[in-house]
Structure 1
Amino acid sequence: MDSLLYTVAILACPVGMGAMMWMMMRGQGKSTGSGQPEQAQQVQQLRSEIDELKAERESRRAEGTR
């Protein structure tokens, strides 16, 4: 009886972790695409900021070489 109790106690953690992983993976497939336009807008904004910073860096380099 004691060995059965120890076996159940030892297996509780891996089985629980496996169940949680399965539930999390299952939940990802059901997400709606509502965040996509917002993410695309944010990506576009970040890309424009990167372009501005690159242009500023190039202008500073050009001023420094004169």
Structure 2
Amino acid sequence: MEALLLGLAVLACPVGMGVMMWMMMRGSGSQGSGGSPGDQAAAQDVARLRAEVDQLRAAREHAEGRR
């Protein structure tokens, strides 16, 4: 009986890991190419922040040019 419990304990980790990997692979294929609204909002935030960084760099270069 102890050997059976030990065998189950030893197999629990790899089997659980395999099931988790299978679930993650199965879930990633069902999202489609559009992405989630959260991904789109994050992409818009990144674009807005990049534009702000570009504006700040241009302002800094303009201020350094006046000196």
Q: TM-score, normalised by structure 1?
A: 0.67
Letter in 1 for 2:3: S
Match of 2:56 in 1: 53
* Aligned-residue CA RMSD (Å): 2.3
Worse overlay, 51-60 or 8-17? 51-60
Q: How many residues align?
A: 64
Q: Which runs of 5+ in 1 are unaligned?
A: none
Identity %: 55
Moved segments of 4+, more than 4 Å: none
Q: Secondary structure at the match of 1:4?
A: helix
* CA drift at 1:6: 0.2
Q: Which runs of 5+ in 2 are unaligned?
A: none
Q: Secondary structure at the match of 2:30?
A: coil
Q: TM-score, normalised by structure 2?
A: 0.66
